[in-house]
Amino acid sequence: MSGLVAFHLFAVFVGPWAAIREQTSPLAADCRRLVAPYVDALYLGNGYRFFAPEPGPSHLVKYDLTLPGGQTLSGHFPDRAARQPRLLYHRYFMLSETLNTLYTPDKNAPGRAVFDRYVRSYARHLLLAHQAANVRLTLVEHRIAAIEDIQRGKVSLADANLFEELPLGTFSEDDR
């Protein structure tokens, strides 16, 4: 029994220790390999880096749909007005945050394929859900207002200057 407990505790520690590949030492990576199936199966491989290294900007996904009749429909998620209860809002928020986490500008980077699949997955879902002809997706970064600017009354938290857009592409029925 002691052996099982010790093994589990080792896995509990190694999970967050080796959670982020780019920040993991060779020793931590070796330890992770020893317990990888166990850590993955029990969902122990989380970094627990809540608001670390520091709280950053938030991200939204904007979509512009063209419907079969030519009408257009636009929206974004997370949408504070549309998603209740709050937990559901947070699920959509995590969809957009995950897209940003996966994003890398280098199209040949190892993780880029996962990002591309996620973008296509979101696009296909929107196309099917709305029976749309095409959809244009944009990742929007919402920077946090500097505390000095708020003190001086220069900006609000939702000031238009705090938003920056990254076009993700236009996807059509063929991409379904």
Partner 1 sequence: MSALAGTVKGWFREIVADWDRFWFTPVDPATLSLIRVFAGAMLLYTHGVWSLKLESFFGADGWLMPDAVHAFHREMHTWSYFWWLRTPGQLWGAHLAAIVVFAMLTVGLFSRVVAPLAAIATLSYIQRVPGALFGLDQINALLAIYLCLGPCGARYSFDHWLAKRRGVGLVAVEPSIAANIAIRLIQLHMCVIYLFAGTSKLMGLAWWNGFAMWLALGNYEYQSLDMTWLAHWPRTVSLLSHVTIFWETFYCLLIWSKRWRPVMLILAILLHMGIAICLGMMTFGLVMLIGNLAFVSPLLVQRMLAGRGGAVAPQSRADLEGA
Quote the least distance from Cβ 43 to partner 1, whole Å: 5
Which residue number, 70 or 160, has a Cβ lying nearer to partner 1?
160
Show Cβ contacts of residue 176 under 8 Å, excluding neighbours closer than 6 positions: 124, 127, 128
Quote the least distance from Cβ 2 to partner 1, whole Å: 7
Contacts 24+ apart (CB under 8 A), 68-77: 68/131, 68/132, 68/133, 73/130, 73/132, 76/140
Q: How far apart are CA 173 and CA 169, in angstroms?
A: 14
Show Cβ contacts of residue 80 under 8 Å, excluding neighbours closer than 6 positions: 89
Quote the least distance from Cβ 135 to partner 1, whole Å: 13
Residue 90: count of CB within 10 angstroms of its CB: 13
Quote the least distance from Cβ 83 to partner 1, whole Å: 9
Which residue number, 4 or 70, has a Cβ lying nearer to partner 1?
4
Which residue number, 26 or 157, has a Cβ lying nearer to partner 1?
157
Which residue number, 67 or 128, has a Cβ lying nearer to partner 1?
128
Binding site for partner 1 (CB under 8 A): 1-2, 5, 8-9, 12-13, 16-17, 36-37, 40-44, 46-58, 60, 78, 80, 85-95, 98-99, 113-114, 117-118, 120-122, 124-125, 128-129, 142, 144-145, 147, 150-151, 157-158
At 125, list the tokens.
């879902």
